[in-house]
Amino acid sequence: MVRDIAVKTPQPICHQTLVDELNRRIINELQEGFPISDYPYAEIAEKLATTETELLQRLSRLLDSGLLTRFGPMFHAEQLGGALALCAMQVPEAHFESVANQVNQFSQVAHNYEREHRLNMWFVLATETQDELQDTLVAIEEKTGYRVYNMPKLEEFYVGLRFRV
């Protein structure tokens, strides 16, 4: 079992009503890339035979509903001088939710998940510097009272994962 424990809670909108043909095409198209131009949304809208306004409204609704949890660029933090770490913690089930809330209060934390494993809380830290990464690891340990295991990336692989809708 993997349970996403991110802070944002989706609005109670029926996802079935959001997955019409145009939204399917929008989701599929945006997974293929995003144009770098003065009017990228207009370019995508034209390709999808809709308007820029309609595209932006639909994208906003998909994000607000929680059907899409994120739309934005992927950066290589290390190449920009920043640091990334995959982290894990061993948290007793009785304290899991409160520790998750404490961890999620750090702006550097993303992708916080519960896993069925001795190390049951996993999250990503993204910081502007390596020093900030180390400071954040220490601060999380001090705030929660639990050890944070830093799992540094040794090698990176590009998977190119796409979810056709």
pLDDT at residue 96 tops 50: yes
Whether residues 58 and 83 share a domain: the answer is no
144 and 87 in a common domain: yes
pLDDT at residue 16, as a whole number: 58
The answer as to whether 48 is a domain residue is yes
Looking at the fold, whether 81 and 145 belong to one and the same domain comes out as: yes
pLDDT one-digit tens code per residue, 101-154: 999 999 999 888 999 999 999 999 999 999 999 999 999 999 999 999 999 888
Q: Is the pLDDT of residue 73 over 80?
A: no
Same domain, 55 and 81: no
Higher pLDDT: 6 or 85? It is 85
Domain count across the chain: 2
Residue 145 and residue 84 share a domain: yes
Q: CA separation (Å) from 6 to 14, 53, 71, 100?
A: 20, 29, 15, 9
Is residue 5 included in any domain, yes or no?
A: no
Domain residues for the domain of 115 are 77-151
Cα distance between residue 165 and residue 21, in whole Å: 9
